[in-house]
Amino acid sequence: MRRSRMTRQRTPKPGHAEGIPPPGVKFYLDEDLRPAIAVGLRKRGIDTVSAHEVGNIGLGDTEQLAFAAGQRRCLVSKNARDFGRVGHAAVDQGHPHAGIVLCPPRIGGGNAGVIIGALITIAGRYPAGLGEYDVLYL
């Protein structure tokens, strides 16, 4: 007589189909960050695009955030002063976004490795993405 083995069925998380992992954090790099950072993050499996790569050079801060929000991407910028203000305005106006990560001025343009490392850490801490209206500082 053969015994059948009962297998435990996995219950998918709400909103996610069986076998499809929940979406991870996705980054959109403002034009003040080098496209090499996006390349470095993609090599590590993190979905990232830069303003340079999608032709968004010269857009205003509000338009950059709207683009990122439309793609459910967390905007990353070194422009902490302006994007802090734009983030607050989004809250006041009820325009949700997928989060903002602000790099401090002490991280210069030549520190791509530092920014990549910090964003990898954020991706690990927020595997499902940042919350609407979240603003983080590196």
Q: Tens digit of pLDDT for each residue in 26-74?
A: 999 999 999 999 999 999 999 999 999 999 999 999 999 999 999 999 9
Contact call for residues 115 and 33 (beta carbons, < 8 A): yes
Q: Are 108 and 79 in contact (CB under 8 A)?
A: no
7 is a domain residue: no
Residue partners of 123: CB distance under 8 A and separation at least 6 = 24, 25, 27, 46
65-114, pLDDT tens digit by residue?
Answer: 999 999 999 999 999 889 889 988 988 999 999 999 999 878 766 689 99
- The CA distances from residue 48 to 16, 17, 78, 126, in Å, are 22, 23, 16, 15
Would 79 be classed as within a structural domain? yes
Query: Can you give the pLDDT at residue 22?
Result: 45
* Residue 113, domain extent: 27-137
- Residue 100 in domain: yes
The two beta strands, 135-137 and 100-102, are parallel
The first and second tokens of residue 82, run together, are: 């302006």
Helices then strands, counting H and E runs in the chain, come out as 5, 5
**Tally of domains within the chain:** 1
pLDDT of 109 reads 60
The CATH code of the domain that includes 91 is 3.40.50
- Whether 83 is in a domain gets the answer yes
